[in-house]
Amino acid sequence: MIPLSALPTPALLVDLDRLERNIAAMAGAFAAAGVALRPHIKTSKCWEVARRQLDAGAIGFTCSTAAEVAWLQSRGVGDLLWAHIPIGPRKVAFVVDSIAQHGGGLTVSLDSVEAARPLSAAAVTAGVTVPFVLEINTGHARLGVEPASAVATATAIAALPGLRLRGVLTHEGHISVLASRPDLEQAGAAAGTLLVSVADALRAAGLPVEVVSVGSTPGATSAPFVPGITEGRPGTYVYFDGNQTRLGSCSLDQCAQTVLARVASVQRAGRPIIDAGIKAMSSDTIAAAGGVGVVLDRADVTFPEANEEHGFLSDGGEVPLAVGDLVRLVPNHACGTTNMWSHLYAVRGDVAVERWEISARY
Ligand SMILES: Cc1ncc(COP(=O)(O)O)c(C=O)c1O
């Protein structure tokens, strides 16, 4: 039990009351709708968080890297979706070895015959079957086949030996650019509806589709609840962040992740310098309207700029911050901030109660 004032700064904090509420609320909404919850692990990369999500009913996790997959397998999690194309010999070998070693438990994502062929060849050589979902572009235009090509691509990949089609997946990340929450809700539902129509087309072509998977935090109140969707993969919801407050996914008092920092210098009036910069916050702004993060409990103070180890606050001079003052900063993007740190402090109120490891970073 360490009071915040005695922690080293900068420090990464997670508020346990908020974390527990975020986990329970998302798990409750999914359970009530009968939709499986497969959170993205990249937001926390922390077993103590993951364990709480599993205890609340998560069926397993979505992963973005091989390191996340290997780490969760080492913790005994038996249902993982690697939502990233396993391209190149090392990733192909990793998938095949991991399925051979664990007897399954891993599904990968594919969107082309070209990426599928080496995986098929390696699976045949190893004598294993690799389950996959076909990624569909519902508007984000990152990975994913166009809906009109889905049947042809799924048929071609499913015909390759050593691979087994399980269904379809989309990441409705494009809805984050929409300014109004009703527009965003509508776009999330539209992405879900489009994915369900692709799933139906695959079934009509005689292909097996058991998984129809959407995933994002801004879309977590719309896309998963379209009839025909079987699972949702929100990740950021576990902490929320500055971007999600701007998108209306949460309020600031639901944000569980903060960076604790101290004012180190106030040589220039109105411009306090803190001991947390880009290496504490990450430079990931995504939807942020400028700024490095949100200053908690001081709506009059902004965080417009940072160097690596220094942050530049702006306090307007009315209630000036003083050297030694503590500030708590809500990152713009929780997942990017997590990847900057090797451990975090779990806090209740103003006391750090535990120190948790962050795993599987780059
Ligand atoms: C494939 C995939 N699924 C799910 C998610 C989770 O989305 P969010 O971070 O909005 O919760 C992401 C996030 O980038 C993703 O890329």
> What mean pLDDT do residues 8-25 have?
98
- Looking at residue 312, its pLDDT comes to 96
Q: Is 51 among the domain residues?
A: yes
In a domain, 212, yes or no: yes
Here the tokens at position 120 are 């098929």
Gap from CA of 215 to ligand 1 centroid (Å): 6
Q: Is 275 within a domain?
A: yes
Mutate to test the pocket of ligand 1, among 40, 133, 169, 238 (most ligand atoms within 8 A of CB): 40
Q: Is residue 292 part of a domain?
A: yes
**How far, in Å, from the CA of 171 to the mean position of ligand 1?**
6
Judged against a pLDDT cut of 80, whether residue 288 lies above it is answered with no
Q: Indicate whether 95 and 212 sit together in one domain.
A: yes
Same domain, 220 and 90: yes
Q: Are residues 263 and 306 in the same domain?
A: yes
Number of compact structural domains in the chain: 2
Provide the 3-class DSSP secondary structure of residue 213: strand
Domain range spanning residue 203? Answer: 17-238
- Bond before 224 cis per omega within 30 degrees: no
Instruction: Return d(Cα 223, Cα 190) in angstroms, integer.
Output: 7
For atom 16 of ligand 1, the residue with the nearest CA is 171
Is residue 284 very low, low, confident or very high in pLDDT (cuts 50, 70, 90)?
confident
Distance 294 CA to ligand 1 centre (A): 22
Same domain, 324 and 223: no
Last residue of a domain, one of 217, 238, 259: 238
Global pTM exceeds 0.85: yes
Are 218 and 325 within one domain? no
pLDDT of residue 286 exceeding 80 = no
d(CA 227, CA 225): 6
Query: What does the pLDDT look like over 307-354, one tens digit per residue?
Result: 999 999 999 878 899 999 999 999 999 999 999 999 999 999 999 999
Confidence of residue 287 (pLDDT cuts 50, 70, 90): low
Report the share of the chain in percent with pLDDT over 70: 99
Q: What is the pLDDT of residues 34-88, one digit of tens each?
A: 999 999 999 999 999 999 999 999 999 999 999 999 999 999 999 999 999 999 9
62: Cβ below 6 Å to ligand 1? yes
Mean pLDDT over residues 110-125, rounded? Answer: 98
The pLDDT tens digits of the residues spanning 157-181 come to 999 999 999 999 999 999 998 879 9
Cα distance between the two ends of the chain? 30
CB 330 within 8 A of CB 303: no
Residue 289 has pLDDT above 70, yes or no: no
At residue 290 the predicted structure's pLDDT band, cuts being 50, 70 and 90, is low
In angstroms, how far apart are the furthest CA atoms of the chain?
A: 71
Q: Which of 216, 222, 236 is the best mutation target for the ligand 1 pocket, counting ligand atoms within 8 Å of the beta carbon and taking the most?
A: 216
Sign of the CA dihedral running 343, 240, 177, 133: positive
pLDDT of residue 117: 98
* Claim to verify: residue 279 and residue 205 sit in the same structural domain: no
Q: How confident is the model at residue 193 (pLDDT cuts 50, 70, 90)?
A: very high
234 C-beta closer than 6 A to ligand 1? yes
